[in-house]
């Protein structure tokens, strides 16, 4: 066990995480919905939000999809404490452009920004736009050169680089971060190229939801590899269903699983355009689950005490940041804060915390939505 427990929430950038035909969670990927969730999470005491990056909805092409980087800049301006982590797929942004965007959000947030480097899986997102989509290891080779350039630029270094993919001459970006050396770098993935890249560049390695024993083996593998600088930390994605009793939690799990079955056709279509070489995809096929990025595979389904006990076990194994999913989102986000935070050594939110946060932000919200 290392640093303190931190909790985050996945922003609903492309709709619900578990089931799309849930009457308690109508589809909503709007800016207003994402804004309200992040403001509520901050008021409730959550530490981070993760804003996934897709140019089009990865599940149903004609459904809404929030644009991650412009939304993150707006979230940075509206919030005061919560960390904003925005995903990035290197093929979509030149390293100079991305580094400048990252530094701008870092300055807007006064040091509350990080980006999550991911290897894309949705082939259609790229090919339909005429953007080359290399094979798995080729994408990681591209990403390695990309992050080598970005990491130096976001430190404020003057960069000259002549590589296979990028040719940059005497480039320097200002202003730098106002409070630290650079924004925080997260990395998601499970393959060998992902592990090697994380050891060399990431501050935090994001794992997809999976059983405790798999997490322990993964962390042990990373920790025994040589690394320069501070030790790497670890985050875990997980879908939570916590209730007063285990029976109630399992009933809710079965309810959401039945709703998710209605999306089987959509998920089959998604699978047809997914890169099968992505280790994450192969791992997801090992067991039934609900939620994305491993979802309930982490086992955070049960009574409040059971879920707290499992979180402590993951923390003992090395997980410091839990990036959580819920459905319905508003209700369960508050439930976790009120019921689980006190069981995990955190203060429960003050009564009316979300309403107070909303009132405090009202002038800014009115300026956006008159």
**What is the CA 22 to chain-centroid distance, rounded?**
23
pLDDT by residue, tens only, the chain of 370 residues: 457 899 999 999 999 999 999 999 999 999 999 999 999 999 999 999 999 999 999 888 889 999 999 999 999 999 999 999 999 999 999 999 999 999 999 999 999 999 999 988 888 888 889 988 889 999 999 999 999 999 999 999 999 999 999 999 999 999 999 999 999 999 999 999 999 999 999 999 999 999 999 999 999 999 999 999 999 999 999 999 999 999 999 999 999 999 999 988 877 777 766 666 555 555 555 667 899 999 999 999 999 999 999 999 999 999 999 999 999 999 999 999 999 999 999 999 988 777 766 666 655 565 555 4
- C-alpha to C-alpha distance for 266 and 274, rounded to whole angstroms: 13
pLDDT recorded at residue 275 = 61
Measured from the Cβ of residue 153, the count of other Cβ atoms closer than 10 Å reads 25
pLDDT recorded at residue 123 = 81
Let me know: does 149 contact 168? Beta carbons within 8 Å: yes
In the three-class reduction of DSSP (H, G, I as helix; E, B as strand; rest coil), residue 109 is classed as: helix
pLDDT recorded at residue 358 = 62
Residue 171 domain boundaries: 6-364
Q: Please report whether residue 191 resides in a domain.
A: yes
Q: Are strands 167-171 and 184-188 parallel, antiparallel or unpaired?
A: unpaired
- C-alpha to C-alpha distance for 320 and 204, rounded to whole angstroms: 9
CA dihedral 181, 182, 187, 192 (to 10 degrees): -50
Which of 164, 182, 186 is closest to 173 using CA atoms?
A: 182
Q: Please report whether residue 369 resides in a domain.
A: no
- C-alpha to C-alpha distance for 354 and 250, rounded to whole angstroms: 28
- C-alpha to C-alpha distance for 217 and 214, rounded to whole angstroms: 5
Is 0.85 topped by the overall pTM? yes
Q: Is the peptide bond before 328 cis (omega within 30 degrees of 0)?
A: yes
Helix pair 329-339, 31-44: axis angle to 10 deg: 10
Let me know: does 89 contact 118? Beta carbons within 8 Å: yes
Q: Please report whether residue 116 resides in a domain.
A: yes
Let me know: does 293 contact 9? Beta carbons within 8 Å: no
Which of 140, 188, 196, 148 is closest to 168 using CA atoms?
A: 148
Domain count, the chain: 1
Q: Please report whether residue 119 resides in a domain.
A: yes
**What is the CA 27 to chain-centroid distance, rounded?**
19
Let me know: does 304 contact 320? Beta carbons within 8 Å: no
pLDDT recorded at residue 114 = 98
CATH of the domain at 47: 3.20.20.30
Q: Please report whether residue 370 resides in a domain.
A: no
Q: Please report whether residue 343 resides in a domain.
A: yes
Q: Please report whether residue 1 resides in a domain.
A: no
Q: Please report whether residue 358 resides in a domain.
A: yes
């Amino acid at each position: 066990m290392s640093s303190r427990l931190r909790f985050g929430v996945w922003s609903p950038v492309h709709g619900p995480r578990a089931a799309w035909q849930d009457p308690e969670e109508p589809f909503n990927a709007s800016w207003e919905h994402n804004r309200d969730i992040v403001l509520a999470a901050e008021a409730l005491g959550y530490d981070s939000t993760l804003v996934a990056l897709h140019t089009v909805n990865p599940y149903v092409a004609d459904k809404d999809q929030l644009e991650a980087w412009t939304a993150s800049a707006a979230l940075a301006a509206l919030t005061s404490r919560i960390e904003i982590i925005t995903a990035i797929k290197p093929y979509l942004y030149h390293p100079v452009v991305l580094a400048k965007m990252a530094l701008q959000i870092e300055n807007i947030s006064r040091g509350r920004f990080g980006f999550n480097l991911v290897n894309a899986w949705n082939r259609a997102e790229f090919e339909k736009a005429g953007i080359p989509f290399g094979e798995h290891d080729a994408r990681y080779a591209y990403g390695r050169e990309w992050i080598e350039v970005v990491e130096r630029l976001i430190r404020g270094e003057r960069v000259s680089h002549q590589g296979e993919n990028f040719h940059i001459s005497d480039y320097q970006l200002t202003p730098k971060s106002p409070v630290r050396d650079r924004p925080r770098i997260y990395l998601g993935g499970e393959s060998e190229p992902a592990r090697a890249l994380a050891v060399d560049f990431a501050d935090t390695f994001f794992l997809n939801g999976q059983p405790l024993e798999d997490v322990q083996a993964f962390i042990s593998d990373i920790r025994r590899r040589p690394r320069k600088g501070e030790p790497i930390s670890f985050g875990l994605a997980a879908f939570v269903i916590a209730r007063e009793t285990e029976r109630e939690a399992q009933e809710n799990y079965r309810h959401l699983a039945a709703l998710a079955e209605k999306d089987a056709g959509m998920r089959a279509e998604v699978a047809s355009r997914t890169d099968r070489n992505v280790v994450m995809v192969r791992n997801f096929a090992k067991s039934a689950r609900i939620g994305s990025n491993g979802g309930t595979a982490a086992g955070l389904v049960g009574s409040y005490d059971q879920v707290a006990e499992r979180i402590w076990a993951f923390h003992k194994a090395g997980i410091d940041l839990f990036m959580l999913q819920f459905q319905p989102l508003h209700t369960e986000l508050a439930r976790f804060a009120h019921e689980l935070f006190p069981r995990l050594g955190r203060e429960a939110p003050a009564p009316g915390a979300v309403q107070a946060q909303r009132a405090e932000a009202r002038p800014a919200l009115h300026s956006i939505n008159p």
